[in-house]
Amino acid sequence: MRPAVFVDRDGTLTIEGEWVRHPGALALVDGAGSAVRALHRAGYLVILYSNQSAVARGLITEEELSAIHDGLQALLAEHGERLDAVYACPHHPTEGLGRYKIVCECRKPKPGLIVQAQREWGLDLARSWCVGDMERDLAAGAAVGVPGILVATGKGAAEAQRMRAEGRPPRFFERNITDAVARILATSAQGR
């Protein structure tokens, strides 16, 4: 069984934007390609796990979301890398339309995307990690015993400040995905 690093999209792997509606709206954060490469070299699968309620809100279709993620893969390919898998929740509990307006098990902070990936890939969650810019990214991992790293990019700096003010600072907080990967590799080498 292989470990994985579950990486959030907006604000973590890509630059935070209002609503991503087409592949051209995506841009990688600095160092994203190198970070993915370092994880692959260390034996990790790199799996995107992302809430994408733009589908539920009727802003994009699932087909358009798939094209956006194909565009993300193309951006990473420019660095000789790729995501091993992409898992996205299209639902929203209150803002959705039709079949997308549901309380589901895949919308973070619930761990459904991680559970699905573990089942499909036979992952070793005991050696896996989550990286994101929101507390819900970390909570999804924590629900199944996967530690998380909050990054300051995207909404992360404000999120860390809020979490500290509420008396529960993130266990791991790094500047960006590059520093998060360095933390993962160093911590894993020490046996976590």
Catalytic residue set: 8, 10
**Residue 178 · residue 35 · CB < 8 Å:** yes
Q: Which residue has the tokens 């630059």?
A: 15
**Residue 150 · residue 132 · CB < 8 Å:** yes
